[in-house]
Amino acid sequence: MPDATGLELVAQRVRDAVHEEAVVGTSFAYDSATLVVAPERTRDVLEHLSRSDEEPYEHLMSLHGCDYLPEEPRLGVHYQLMSMGRRERIAVKTRLTTEDPRLPTVTDLFPTADFQEREVYDFFGVVFEGHPDPRRILMPEDYEGYPQRRDFPMGGEPVLFTHNEHKLPRWYD
Amino acid sequence: MEITRSKVDRKPEDFRSRQLRAQQMLRGDLDGTDLEEYVEERLLLTKFEDAQNWARKNAIWPLGFGLACCAIEMITVIGSPRNDLSRFGAEVIRFSPRQADMLILSGRVSIKMAPVIRRIYDQMLEPKWVISMGACASSAGMFNNYALVAGADKFLPVDVYVPGCPPRPEALMYGIMKLQDKITSEPNEGWRERYKSAGTEEASDSSASSYGRPEADSQPQAAGQDAPRRTPDDA
């Protein structure tokens, strides 16, 4: 695990190798190092971190979406990288708006990203450009909407309890 | 209907004398009241439908089909000697819907799974019954959200609902016994007759499809082949 100083060194190496504005910010909290990167540079940053960095993180452990509803930009996509040899982890985060969220795919770098990108598309509506099979993976294919977004209605049916009985008038009909 | 057996023979007879009477009968020596008594002793009178329902009731073959965590409980109820469902004739799990009589919806029914379940149900032959096991299959339970169908009865007819999360084995067995009561007391074998939903067939040629057997005289309300099919609005 890189410490806060090591994280800044990683960030500077990424800036030098990829682009000056590839890294938007860094955060080090709870012993976890996180690089916040610009969405259009995500793939380049991951390629550099996993292949050509002097301390590479070659393994993608997880790729998942997130919705930070009150904040803008709302959507987030997180990549958890790990170096098996050094037993070190680093997180790469990127933020997207809900209007036309697009990211470059990383399936060519990490084959495991295939299903996980489909899941993020399924639940958050993030389109991964260049994905070989960009379909929904868990919800039915004709499903409308992205159910894990926080403004998506909960669904289901109201259940009668004593505490909400007065809110469901004439439930017995 | 209850099938009862009572002893007709009033005289206390020992085994030897009954054996001798059987010999006489086979020789043709019995006649008159003796012969009548002899025959009455050995006959069990019932209606054909009752005998049929009695046989069906005691040979419910469940489909080997599980949906979620309730399936584990369902398997222990049906398959384990501890609960011994063979006492009630419902332990022969069939893994083909063509051979199964009962579908136990054991677990969550997701929106994606609903058409699959419906197709399996349609593949089962009449007569067929459905038990909705547990809170999830009956009402989506604690997973009351975008992914699940709140109540499997939205897309197929359910006969018995067993509450619980998961139900105790005794509860599921009680549900199966309730279903047995329903089978013996309900003469209609097809679910469209049971639920008065003739005319809702999905086949394109609705006049050619006939669910269940031709109507008996005891059910004058059901439509035959020539009569116009009843729709749910007429009921």
A147 touches chain B (CB under 8 A): yes
Nearest Cβ partner of B112 from A140, A147, A157? A140
Contact B103, B121 (CB under 8 A): yes
Interface test with B, best of A143, A146, A151 (most B CBs within 10 A): A143
% of chain A surpassing 70 pLDDT: 97
Q: Which residue has the higher pLDDT, B69 or B194?
A: B69
User: Sorting pLDDT into bands at 50, 70 and 90, what band is B189?
Assistant: low
For position A111, what pLDDT does the model report?
93
In the block, tokens 């680093």 appear at: A90
Q: Is the pLDDT of residue B22 over 80?
A: yes
For position B201, what pLDDT does the model report?
63
For position B25, what pLDDT does the model report?
85
Q: Is the pLDDT of residue B103 over 90?
A: yes
Which residues share a beta bridge with B67? none
List of residues 6+ apart from B38 with CB closer than 8 A: B21, B25, B30
Q: How many Cα neighbours within 13 Å face the side chain of B35?
A: 8
For position B10, what pLDDT does the model report?
58
Quote the CA–CA distance of B26 and B218 in Å, as a whole number. 39
- Comparing CA positions, the residue from B120, B121, B108 lying closest to residue B147 is B108
B142 touches chain A (CB under 8 A): no
For position B211, what pLDDT does the model report?
47
For position B162, what pLDDT does the model report?
93
Quote the CA–CA distance of B103 and B160 in Å, as a whole number. 11
For position A44, what pLDDT does the model report?
93
Quote the CA–CA distance of A157 and B146 in Å, as a whole number. 9
The predicted model gives A37-53 an average pLDDT of 93
Contact B208, B24 (CB under 8 A): no
Q: How many Cα neighbours within 13 Å face the side chain of A155?
A: 20
For position B96, what pLDDT does the model report?
93
For position A165, what pLDDT does the model report?
76
Query: pTM of the prediction?
Result: 0.72
ipTM: 0.75
State the DSSP string of B97-162.
Answer: TTT-SEEEEES--BTTTHHHHHHHHHHSPSS-EEEEEHHHHHH-TT--STTB-S-GGGTS--SEEE
Quote the CA–CA distance of A49 and A110 in Å, as a whole number. 12
For position A47, what pLDDT does the model report?
94
> Rounded to a whole number, what is the distance in Å from the CA of B110 to chain A's nearest CA?
9
pLDDT in tens, A86-97: 999 999 999 999
Nearest Cβ partner of B150 from A140, A143, A157? A157
For position A36, what pLDDT does the model report?
95
- Comparing CA positions, the residue from A22, A46, A56 lying closest to residue A110 is A46
| Summary mean pLDDT of chain A | 90
Calculate the alpha carbon distances from A172 to B136, B149, B154, B163 in Å. 21, 21, 19, 19
Structure tokens, B96: 């083909």
Q: Is the pLDDT of residue B142 over 90?
A: no
Q: Is the pLDDT of residue B205 over 60?
A: no
The H-assigned helical ranges of chain B are: 15-27, 32-41, 48-57, 69-79, 114-123, 134-139, 169-185, 191-194
Counting every residue, how long is chain A? 173
Q: A158: cis peptide before it, omega within 30°?
A: no
Q: Check CB contact under 8 Å for B140 and A143.
A: no
pLDDT in tens, A98-142: 998 999 999 999 999 999 999 999 999 999 999 999 999 999 888
The count of other CB atoms within 10 Å of the CB of residue A91 is: 16
For position B40, what pLDDT does the model report?
82
A70 touches chain B (CB under 8 A): no
> Rounded to a whole number, what is the distance in Å from the CA of A38 to chain B's nearest CA?
32
Chain B residue numbers touching A138 (CB-CB < 8 A): 112
* Cβ–Cβ pairs < 8 A, chains A and B: 31
Quote the CA–CA distance of B138 and B107 in Å, as a whole number. 9
pLDDT in tens, A59-82: 999 999 999 989 989 999 999 999
List of residues 6+ apart from B29 with CB closer than 8 A: none
Q: Is the pLDDT of residue B62 over 90?
A: yes
Quote the CA–CA distance of B153 and B138 in Å, as a whole number. 7
> Rounded to a whole number, what is the distance in Å from the CA of A153 to chain B's nearest CA?
8
- Comparing CA positions, the residue from A17, A1, A22, A6 lying closest to residue A93 is A22
User: Sorting pLDDT into bands at 50, 70 and 90, what band is B38?
Assistant: confident
